[in-house]
Amino acid sequence: MKTQVIALVTGANKGLGLETSRQLAEQGMTVLLGVRDLEKGAQALNALQGLDVTLVELDVTRSDHIDAAKAMIETRHGRLDILVNNAGMIHPEEPLFANSAETVSQDALKETFNVNFFGQVALTQALMPLIKKSAAGRIVNVSSILGSLSLHSDEASDATQVKPLAYDASKTALNQFTVHLAAALAGTSVKVNSAHPGWVKTDLGGHQAPMDVVAGAKTAVQLATLGPDGPTGKFFHFDEEVPW
């Protein structure tokens, strides 16, 4: 009898998180939808009717939510096979197509890092004992090409025109977490990778973005379902490796 795969996706009430949850659930997985607001999460449940999905109240900046989510997963499932760290934000103080290095406030930096980095690290560390119980644990950190120092320092790259400091720096830090965690887990069955979804039509990406959420979710889903010979400690957009 095939063992049911258990996946947790954060920021799952809309956009990339919702679509990632849909694509994983359509593969027959049990998907836990991490949402900050259960009322808004109910709309996600309606959108995923007929699939094996469950709401989990989870604001990654709140330790009580993290502790409760861990306890629930441990009690109901005993392990976690896939963690997609999708929750993220760009602060309203930062225009996407601008360089905010001279103007971004300390409050904006702290709020952005709390969601995009500190919360992701705290959740992953809390759930690590459950992920290690999986026969093939997979951790996907949903990053951005804007976290690539290589591309930001390349004058020929389009990334040079998009420099909201708090957002970009938080994704760079998340990428470093990917590299370090993959190294820490070397020799285990757990794989850790960063995903660049692309420029996607979401609340963050805006209506002018060229990709829809179906395409945008594919990289995270691909990394969440890697086989035993798949990479770890890498950064991908679809099948293309992105420079750090």
For residue 48, give the 3-state DSSP assignment: coil
Q: DSSP alpha helices (H): ranges in the chain?
A: 15-25, 38-47, 63-76, 106-113, 119-131, 149-152, 165-184, 213-216, 218-224
Pairing of strands 30-35, 6-9: parallel
Is the distance from CB of 33 to CB of 44 less than 8 angstroms? yes
The two tokens of residue 239 are 């099948």
Active-site residues, by number, are 167, 171
**Long-range contacts formed by 25-30: CB under 8 A, 24+ apart:** 25/51, 25/52, 25/53, 26/51, 27/225, 28/4, 28/52, 29/4, 29/5, 29/81, 29/82, 30/4, 30/5, 30/6, 30/54, 30/77
Residue in the structure block whose two tokens are 């951005």: 144
Beta pairing partners, 30: 6
